[in-house]
Amino acid sequence: MKALSQKRRHPFAGVALLLLGLLITGGLYAAATTINQAQASNEADGYSASDVDEGERLFVANCATCHGINAEGTDAGPSLIGVGAASVDFQVGTGRMPMQMQGPQAQVKPQQFNDEQTMQLSAYVASLGAGPAVPAEEHTDADQGDPARGGELFRINCAMCHNAAAAGGALTEGKYAPSLHGVEERHIYEAMQTGPQNMPVFNDANIPPEDKRDIIAFLKTYDSQGTPGGFALGFLGPVSEGLFIWTGGLAVLIASMVWLTSRSS
């Protein structure tokens, strides 16, 4: 007791108690701020507590096997903490997730979840950490975009993988850049935001929201034009068209020669 009493009278005892109090106060403040920010983020994105709870239930039942019970990731799937609602809306909304089977990349297939369930899954993942949100309609309205400028931006940033006609193309190790024909506007925006599969991330510093909208306007305008020249031939351009004509022409000439020689004999 005497030793303890002496320590309490130590000249640095007050300083130590003050530091301990500051550490405890700071820790509690930081925890409360984090909770408030997460709640504010969910409310700002239009998600309610019930959306998050229902999304967690769906996640545990359908996604936790690969992504971990707390979405921290496993050997079979990456962590989803901080990927944001936009990533979930894209992957689940296009049917890529849940994956049908393991492979070089997730395949597009019919959606397993409806729009409400997709929103709830997005709400849950958004609650785990800050990330890109689902874009507002004003950023995906193709009617407000400039297709001509969008075409220029697409050829500079996207055509090397997706083809100048947005028909997609092969990459390495069995991977590929998918066709962008018929893809929903918000999914195009979300793909640029989140960089799914092998695609790089084009955040707002790289391509501002207005430029993303212009790219969407270009793709939707291209979709509406169809193939006025005839067969699309995979949208591969003059090389495939020339090869088709050359091969077809040779086939016609050879067939004509065979027919003429058979008639003469």
CATH classification at residue 122: 1.10.760.10
The answer to the question of residue 67 being in a domain is yes
CA distances from 240 to 80, 229, 235, 250 (A): 41, 14, 8, 15
Strand-pairing partners, residue 176, are 170
Supply the mean pLDDT for the chain.
84
Residue 37 has pLDDT above 50, yes or no: no
Looking at the fold, whether 219 and 143 belong to one and the same domain comes out as: yes
- Which residue reads 């003469």 in tokens? 264
On whether residue 166 sits in a domain, the answer given is yes
- Say whether 67 counts as a known binding-site residue: yes
Cα-to-chain-centroid distance, residue 78:
14
59 & 96 share domain: yes
143 shares a domain with 121: no
Is the per-residue pLDDT at 41 higher than 60? no
Any known ligand binding at 66? yes
Residues 158 and 190 in one domain: yes
164, pLDDT greater than 90: no
pLDDT tens digits for range 112-128: 999 999 999 999 999 99
Provide φ and ψ at 110, rounded to 5°.
-55, 145
Asked whether residue 18 is domain-assigned, the answer is: no
Does 14 map to a domain?
Answer: no
Helices (H) and strands (E) in the chain, counts: 12, 2
**What confidence category does residue 15 fall into, taking pLDDT thresholds of 50, 70 and 90?**
low
pLDDT at residue 109 tops 50: yes
Residue 170 gets which letter from DSSP? E
**Tokens 């004003």 belong to which residue?**
138
Residue 243 has pLDDT above 80, yes or no: no
CA 2 centroid distance within chain: 67
Position 77 in a domain: yes
At which of 75, 96, 128 does a domain end? 128
Number of domains in the chain: 2
Residues 121, 167 share a domain? no
Residue at 235 is within a domain: no
Is residue 147, in this structure, part of any structural domain at all? yes
Average pLDDT over residues 215-242: 74
Residue 31: per-residue pLDDT: 58
Residue 162 known to bind ligand: yes
Domain hosting residue 121, numbered range: 47-128
Structure pTM?
0.72
Do residues 167 and 221 share a domain?
A: yes
Phi, psi of 4 (to 5 degrees): -65, -40
According to the annotation, is 161 in a ligand binding site?
yes
Residue 205 has pLDDT above 80, yes or no: yes
220-225 long-range contacts (CB < 8 A, ≥24 apart) are 220/142, 220/147, 220/185, 221/142, 221/147, 221/150, 222/165, 222/166, 222/181, 223/181, 223/182
